[in-house]
Amino acid sequence: MSGRPPWRSPGASTTGLGDPIPGYTGSGSLRGRRALVVGGVVDGAGLGRAVSVALAKEGAVVAVADSTGRSGLPGAWPLDHRGRDDALLATARLLSALGTRTLPIHCDLATEGGCRAAVAHTALEFGAIDVLAVCSGDRPGEVTRLSSTTWLAQAARVFMTGEASVILPATDGGSRNGTAAGESVPNLPGPLVEALRERGVRVGGVSPAKGDSPADIAAAYVALASRSGAPGAEDGRAGPEPLHIRN
């Protein structure tokens, strides 16, 4: 699969938005798992939308959180997915149509309270979190990527146990021929990574290469979320060589 679907701007109607990765067929590798996908749904190329659909097709229940751009909604709040038409709610409706349980959450990524509340709402709805998938950095001028990913991971840690995964966007120049998914990522503080690994939680990063389609990148997120018992994940050693994943 190649190319990008016609993502629309945050303010555009999303009534006609369909499956962003129609060629992706799941195998049930995440059946019974509980996921929180943050970012990349309302703004940007829609990576969070593609990742959330891929996780749902693999059998996970999926909460999606992003800033809706609505004034008067600080922090994080669950939204009625039958309400106002925007990209976040359209994604929730799509996930429901795929047969998965979902929760759309307005999340102010620029604040620690917004990030922590999004995690808390997900844990309250699903009971725990098995996959935390961060799909975008922060808006320039508001907060650094390190801040929001750290807040999200810190909050999610207490709701995650063995075989859970924290998956973050990573960059390595995009010089590879294909998306890479690996265990070692630099954009979380070392002590937090160690604290996660002590609980058996894997920490990984996905580095898109030029020309990767949303389906390629979503498949890399699924690959990390599906892996268990990865060498080095519990003792702090470097993880395995990156996986080069193509649909």
Contact 162, 198 (CB under 8 A): no
| CATH code for position 44 | 3.40.50.720
Mean pLDDT, the chain, as a whole number?
77
Give per-residue pLDDT as tens, 63-81: 999 988 766 666 787 887 6
Q: Is 82 part of any domain? A: yes
218 domain-assigned: yes
Residue 10 lies in a domain: no
Determine, yes or no, domain membership for 5.
Answer: no
| Within-domain flag for 89 | yes
Q: What is the pLDDT of residue 109?
A: 84
The pLDDT score that the predictor gives to residue 136 is 76
The pLDDT value given to residue 15: 44
For 5-21, the pLDDT digits (tens) are 333 333 333 444 689 99
How many structural domains is the chain composed of? 1
Report the C-alpha gap between 228 and 159 in whole angstroms. 18
Tokens of 11: 């303010």
How far CA 16 is from CA of 6, 86, 91, 200, 222, in Å, comes to: 11, 11, 11, 41, 26
Band of the pLDDT at 210, cuts 50, 70, 90?
Answer: confident
Q: What is the pLDDT of residue 212?
A: 87
d(CA 46, CA 179): 17
**Contact by Cβ (8 Å): 67, 112:** no
22 falls within a domain: no
Q: Which domain holds residue 175?
A: 34-237+239-243
Encode pLDDT of 35-52 as tens digits.
Answer: 999 998 887 668 999 999
pLDDT tens for each residue of 125-158: 999 999 999 987 544 333 445 688 999 999 999 9
The pLDDT of residue 146: 62
**Does residue 15 lie in a domain region?**
no
User: Does residue 21 belong to any structural domain of this protein?
Assistant: no
